[in-house]
Amino acid sequence: MADNFKLDLNHRPRRLRRTAALHAMVEETVLRPADLIAPLFVVDDKPVPEEIKSMPGVFRLNIADLVKECRAIHRLGVPAVALFPKLDPKLKDDDGTQALNEETLVLRAVRAVKKAVPELAVITDVALDPYTSHGHDGVLNAVRDDVENDRTVGILAKMAVMQARAGVDLVAPSDMMDGRVGAIREALDAAGFTGTGIMAYSVKYNSAYYGPFREAVGSAQAAGTRLLSKATYQMNPANRREAIREAQLDVAEGADIIMVKPAGAYLDIIREVRNATTKPVAAYQVSGEYSQIQAAARLGWLDLARTRHESLLAIKRAGADMILTYFAKEMAALLKA
């Protein structure tokens, strides 16, 4: 009897899954190289690229090697890079004063990249954690138990103007201080940089997934721990409605692009933000997301190529218009092939 059993169905979704051609015809979400942004780490005085131990396949690059990498990324169709400096610890202090040095590492890197690859969009981080001896994203109050919001914002606004003067296309405040987007927009406009955009880390959670990044820029070592708490300024991972408030505040203050960070564990938040604004939405597949995929693949527990693609597809499907990912270069090479 089982051999003759037949269901009387009008709708058989498997009809459109039978062949690769049918799959392609009805595919709802498509990844392109143009959807990707490559975060890159720059360091002084390293003769060869220096692999970050907790991020296999990701390197700290001197400025000459950074320029070569940017050329290669641009040829693959990736439209933008986000630059993060790792400073010599001797240059760090409590107030992060190196951030306001016209010859600080990231500004020299920006000028070199824009000269070599002017068509490539360059994004720079606006936060003090790479520059402070304590590893926080701002300056601390007198008892050193919290970050001073308004004093920090004043420094960030100056940083943004200096970065714009160096030639960046987008400044990206990642600090989560209140009011910083409005202050940066005002400072940029007053300095004549009305065309410099703001990619705001609007919805940045106090996540456990940032550990490898902190190693990469040296902020973990500055603090003496990978478990540095930023809970007084980054968002509580339990909160969803707060994400909408943060995004709407940044839109009102003049943000051009709204970012959600991390991405993979916050797909619901990406969708909420996407539904709440008509601004472009970015999502950051952070270092911990990258490293856990790499680690599981190296142990043979996951297929690297399939997991990499699926993780990025999910982020775009959730509503991200652009994705910062350490997989950008290799994914772009595959997608362009």
- The CB density around residue 28, as the number of other CB atoms within 10 Å, is 5
Distance CA 169, CA 38 (A): 14
Q: Phi first, then psi: what are they for 132, rounded to 5°?
A: -90, 145
Closest CA to 247 of 278, 273, 285, 284: 273
Q: Give the tokens for residue 156.
A: 């960030």
| Centroid of chain to Cα 268 | 18
**Contact yes or no for 131/99 (Cβ under 8 A):** yes
Of the candidates 86, 92, 114, 204, the residue annotated as catalytic is 204
Catalytic residue at 68? no
Q: Phi first, then psi: what are they for 31, rounded to 5°?
A: -90, 140
Catalytic residue at 46? no
**Measured CA angle at 197 (ends 193, 201), to 5 deg:** 135
Residues 6+ apart with CB under 8 A from 297: 303, 304, 307
Of the candidates 114, 261, 316, 329, the residue annotated as catalytic is 261
The radius of gyration of the chain from alpha carbons, rounded to an integer in Å, stands at 21
Closest CA to 133 of 97, 107, 157: 97
**Contact yes or no for 85/130 (Cβ under 8 A):** yes
In the 8-state DSSP scheme, what is residue 290? H
Residue with tokens 């590492």: 105
**Contact yes or no for 42/63 (Cβ under 8 A):** yes
Mind telling me the catalytic residues? Answer: 204, 261
